[in-house]
Structure 1
Amino acid sequence: MALMARRLVQLYVGLAFYGLGIALQVSSGLGNGPWDVLHEGLSRRLGLSIGAWVVITGALVMLAWIPLRQRPGIGTISNAVLIGVFADLFLWLLPTPEALGARWAYLVTAVLVGGFATGCYIGAGLGPGPRDGLMTGIAARGHSLRAVRTGIELTVLAGGWLLGGTVGAGTVLYAVAIGPLTHVLLPALTIRPRTREAAAEPEPQEQPAAT
């Protein structure tokens, strides 16, 4: 029970921080991550908020899980619904920076926060996000995960740019940095279930320091 509570807390902390990362990067005006270029472009062309489009596209992507036979978890559903809600909340709360230095501070913080948030919600082990599951589901059909991810993100980036989403230095920074950041942070944030043997073993007693 305690382990599940910890996983749920980490999941929702991660989703909140992911929404914060989106808001910071969008507010910087220096270029969004590929999916958020699409979300912003849809918002500009069709109305509704960026967060609303995060939720809508997440739901549509999950429809593609059906032929791929992917199974969502509580983390998947929570990801699909809450990241957009948190993104809109933080876009409303955060002041829009005007000075270039402040905009870059927003951008760099956004990428760092995004890496931490990704490690949190994946490390909780309660189901991948809709977009992550799409990539892994297609890759499981015998394709390179790197090639699948690149193909999907280039497609949504191009579509978002054509719709008017913001592409810039931030887009490049996000693409280059988010993978390595997640690679570094994920092992530390992964919650591993305890085996029965480990649970049955007594906790090691602290030994006195040698003199």
Structure 2
Amino acid sequence: MLLRQLVALYSGLWLCGFSMAALVRAGLGLDPWDVFHQGVADHVPLSFGAVTAVTGAVVLLTWIPLRQRPGLGTVSNIVVIGLSVDAGLWLLPTWESLPARVAAMLAAVVLNAAGTVLYIGAGMGPGPRDGLMTGLVRRTGWSFRLIRTAIEVTVLVTGWLLGGSVGIGTLVYAFGIGPLIQLMIPAVDRHLPGFHAVARRAPDLAAPDPTPADR
């Protein structure tokens, strides 16, 4: 079981990073966090992958007041995704034709969903950004939908103001990643423990956002 978890963890993280690079090369807009990473990379002497890793480390510091505990997956997330992004940017071309760019964008979203399912399914600790979300949900009692939306909108607007790429790919990612992940979960749920652990701890994702009085 441990070997299976490790293979799922590292293959999933590598797919996540490589898909991020493919989304960059497609040039049709990035996911919210990558909009932020690209915006920051335009203003500092660091590569896109290095900015991704540094951002992960900074976000990890926010876990301290949230009393969120890291695991092997947390540290691996910071290192492996940064390396994978840079490797992908080095290997992948910049596509010129619109059909090729659209195909690359769609493939990137699918690969990111597959990587996310494998990485979460491994059950070896959340990445910095996922841990920030779950920590805030646990501490505030607010819904996942409210917390995740607030984080992604803040990150997206900040990245856009710094010059990050926003486009149709941003919307496809935002609205497509959730259904794709949900569709892929059964393929790994019988073989990996991660989703069973999340189901035991997480509040009902379909629950409505709390009213001010409930908070």
After TM superposition, is the score higher than 0.5?
yes
- The corresponding residue for 1:40 is 38
Instruction: Select the structure of larger CA radius of gyration.
Output: 1
Alpha-carbon offset, residue 80 of structure 1: 1.2
Tell me by how many angstroms 1:122 deviates: 0.1
Query: How do 1:78-97 residues align onto structure 2 when only pairs under 5 Å count?
Result: 78-97=76-95
Q: What secondary structure does 1:167 align onto?
A: coil
2:76 is matched by which residue type in structure 1? S
For 2:103 and 2:9, how far apart are their aligned partners in 1? 26
User: Which one of 85, 101, 104 corresponds to residue 103 of structure 1?
Assistant: 101
Q: For residues 9 and 47 of structure 2, what CA distance do their matches in structure 1 show? A: 24
Q: Does 1:66 align with 2:67?
A: no
Residue 8 of structure 1 deviates from its aligned partner by: 0.2
Partner residue in 2 for 1:54 = 52
Q: 1:144 — aligned with what?
A: 143
Quote how far apart the aligned CAs of 1:78 are. Answer: 0.2
Give the Cα separation in 2 of the matches to 1:11 and 1:76.
Answer: 10
CA contact (8 A) 1:21 1:110 kept: yes
Give me the whole-angstrom Cα distance separating, in 2, the residues matched to 1:106 and 1:46: 27
Shift of 1:192: 3.0
| CA–CA distance in structure 1, aligned partners of residues 17 and 107 of structure 2 | 13
Q: Is the 8 A contact 1:30 1:169 kept in 2?
A: yes
Give the aligned partner of residue 205 of structure 2: none
Post-superposition Cα deviations, 1:47-89, rounded to whole Å, max 9, x if no partner, equal 3111001100100000000100000110111001110110011
For the pair 1:113 / 2:114, whether they are aligned, the reply is no
Give the aligned partner of residue 168 of structure 1: 167
Counterpart for residue 192 of structure 1: 193
Task: For residue 187 of structure 1, report the CA deviation from its aligned partner.
Answer: 3.2
| 2:152 aligned residue | 153
Question: Among the aligned pairs, what percent are the same residue?
Answer: 54
Corresponding residue SS for 1:87: helix
Unaligned runs of 5+ in 1: 194-211
Contact 1:17 1:117 in 2 (8 A): yes
Q: Secondary structure at the match of 2:42?
A: helix
Q: Distance in 2 between matches of 1:66 and 1:147?
A: 21
Aligned residue-pair number: 191
* Local SS of the residue matching 1:46: coil
Retained in 2: the 8 A contact 1:124–1:189? Answer: no
Correspondence 1:7 to 2:5: yes
TM-score (norm 1): 0.88
Give the counterpart letter for 2:171 in structure 1. Answer: V
User: What's the RMSD between the two structures over aligned residues?
Assistant: 1.0
Distance 2:188 2:159 in 1: 32
- State the AA in 2 paired with 1:82: V
The answer on whether the counterparts of 1:37 and 1:157 sit within 8 Å (CA) in structure 2 is: yes
The superposition leaves residues 109-133 of structure 1 with CA deviations (integer Å, 9 ceiling, x where unpaired) of 0000000000000000001111001
* Aligned counterparts of 1:180 and 1:129: Cα–Cα separation in 2: 20
Name the TM-score, length of structure 2 as normaliser.
Answer: 0.87
Q: Which runs of 5+ in 2 are unaligned?
A: 195-215
Question: In structure 2, what is the Cα distance between the partners aligned to 1:47 and 1:183?
Answer: 38
The letter for the 1-side match of 2:54 is: I
